[in-house]
Amino acid sequence: MYLFLFVLLIRFKNFMKKILLALFLSFGLHSTVSAQTILLQNDFTGYNGLASTMTAGWYASFHDTSLVKSFYTSSGFYGMSAPAYKFGLDSTTLISPMFSGADSLRFYMKGNGTPNSDNIFYVYTSNDSSTWNLLATYDTIAPAAAIVTLALPMNSKYLRFYYSKPTQGYNVGIDDIVVFANTTGIQSNSNSWLKDIYPNPASSKTVLTFDQVLSKIDISVYSILGNKVLQVNTGNTNRVTLDVAALPQGIYMVKVKNDKSSSSRKLVIKR
């Protein structure tokens, strides 16, 4: 009898978690998107560090139940409810199952520890789960919780979250991953004051424009493997021209920082 009641309570708890998440999404809290159709979501219900408890269809490279643990259950370290998945080792990877027709992505993210710009969090998309295109990078993950919203390229069918952690002592939690279709009015968090980058694709030069004159600008260009291939420092302008003639053809991520925040945009070099 007690066992039956316990199982019933657990199922009710998981059911309520789904209801709360649905309400959260429908009212659009902490987001800039509306009128969406949910294609895929993962709130890590029931995950306890064992691979067998990971949400069906999702691949995670890191599982741990005892030492560093691959999940967060402490108050303030997860989204709508516990647990959150933890990127606690170098090269930790999380890959979604297939979806189609998506145009936006939202997820909860929180750093834990002392921020270190050597550690970089990457988000990729793919249409075949083999070739991955860089969507966003984060090298200043705040220890405060944030809801990240990103526009997805057409024909995106898979997501890959990857954490490069050459310096120990800082981990990242992720929760409430949702993929949408039929989104209106989306503005990607990673592209706030970085207005445009053109031409894109570029062959020899590309221009970055900002919505205001910035007194301090640090621009870094990263290859798809996460290697920094170009660095430019300037200021007192709302427009910067980058010379990319020496870079090979391919997909890059342009990361722009000022003294208050950072923004990023994908750049394609094609000749």
Q: Which residue has the tokens 């988000």?
A: 123
Residues 200 and 268: beta-carbon distance below 8 Å: yes
- Percent of the chain surpassing pLDDT 70: 83
Distance separating alpha carbons of residues 81 and 67, to the nearest angstrom: 22
Neighbours of 72 (CB within 10 A): 24
| Number of other residues whose CB lies within 10 A of the CB of residue 131 | 10
Domains and CATH numbers, the chain: 14-189 (2.60.120.200), 192-269 (2.60.40.3080)
Task: Kindly report which listed range (23-27, 77-81, 255-259) carries the lowest average pLDDT score.
Answer: 23-27
What percentage of the chain reaches a pLDDT higher than 90? 47
**106-131 per-position pLDDT tens digit:** 999 999 988 777 889 999 999 999 99
AA letter at 73: T
Model confidence pLDDT, tens digit, residues 153-183: 888 999 999 999 988 889 999 999 999 998 7
Closest CA to 47 of 22, 91, 79: 79
Does the pLDDT value for residue 45 go beyond 60? yes
pTM: 0.64
Decide: 267 and 252 in contact? Cβ < 8 Å. Answer: yes
Cis? peptide before 199, omega within 30° of 0: yes
- Report the chain's mean pLDDT, rounded to a whole number: 83
**CA dist., res. 140 & res. 117, Å (int):** 6
Task: Inform me whether the pLDDT recorded for 244 exceeds 90.
Answer: yes
Least confident window among 76-85, 95-104, 191-200: 191-200
